[in-house]
């Protein structure tokens, strides 16, 4: 059976001396007595430890998608394109299609996807986020041939 990860991606912490770029700080994770050192994403440790086949990342337009591109092997031009669109507030899920491919390549299977949600500042946005998660679960069920 396929192993699936659904993970949130945040906005990170402002990089020291930089008013635009954010970076996650590195930290160590321990999963089932295995140490994963200097990781910037919790999901990296989970992916490695549990040999994840497919990943779904959910974040806002301001989330650190550019860092995810870097972590999963995207080139610098694509990373800068994502950063620029993020900074301009016009990043769309279509812009993350190459990142979806990078995830599939890294994980060795197909179907990984990145989703952009609103900030959840009102009831309508919260419901839209909830519906996005239902969409992800529906996608997972279809890919895994589960019946709902």
- Tokens at residue 29, please? 């994770």
- Mean pLDDT over 26-37 rounds to 93
**Residue 147, both tokens:** 């019946």
Tokens matching residue 144: 């895994």
pLDDT averaged over every residue in the chain? 88
φ/ψ of 95, rounded to 5, equals -65, -20
Give dist(CA 141, CA 148) in Å, integer. 8
Integer Cα distance of 44 and 103 in angstroms:
11
Indicate the SS3 state at residue 40: coil
Tens digits of per-residue pLDDT, 67-85? Answer: 899 999 999 999 999 999 9
Count of Cβ atoms closer than 10 Å to residue 86 Cβ:
24
What is the tens place of the pLDDT at every residue in 52-69? 999 999 999 999 999 899
**In the chain, what is the greatest distance between 2 CA atoms, to the nearest angstrom?**
51
Q: How many CB atoms lie within 10 A of CB 50?
A: 13
148: pLDDT confidence band, cut at 50, 70 and 90? Answer: very low
Domain ranges of the chain: 4-118
The yes-or-no verdict on residue 137 having pLDDT over 60 is yes
Residues 105-116 have a mean pLDDT of 93
Task: Note the pLDDT of residue 55.
Answer: 95
């Amino acid at each position: 059976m396929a192993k699936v990860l659904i993970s949130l991606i945040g906005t990170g912490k402002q990089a020291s001396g930089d008013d635009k770029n954010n970076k996650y700080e590195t930290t160590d994770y321990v999963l089932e007595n295995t140490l994963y050192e200097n990781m910037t994403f919790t999901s990296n440790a989970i992916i490695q430890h549990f040999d994840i086949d497919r990943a779904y990342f959910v974040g806002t337009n301001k989330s650190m998608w550019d860092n995810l591109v870097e972590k999963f092997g995207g080139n610098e031009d694509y990373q800068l394109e994502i950063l620029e669109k993020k900074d301009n507030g016009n990043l769309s899920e279509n812009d993350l299609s190459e990142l979806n491919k990078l995830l599939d390549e890294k994980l060795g299977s197909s179907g990984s996807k990145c989703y952009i949600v609103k900030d959840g500042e009102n009831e309508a946005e919260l419901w839209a986020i909830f519906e996005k998660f239902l969409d992800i679960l529906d996608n997972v069920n279809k890919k895994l041939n589960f019946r709902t």
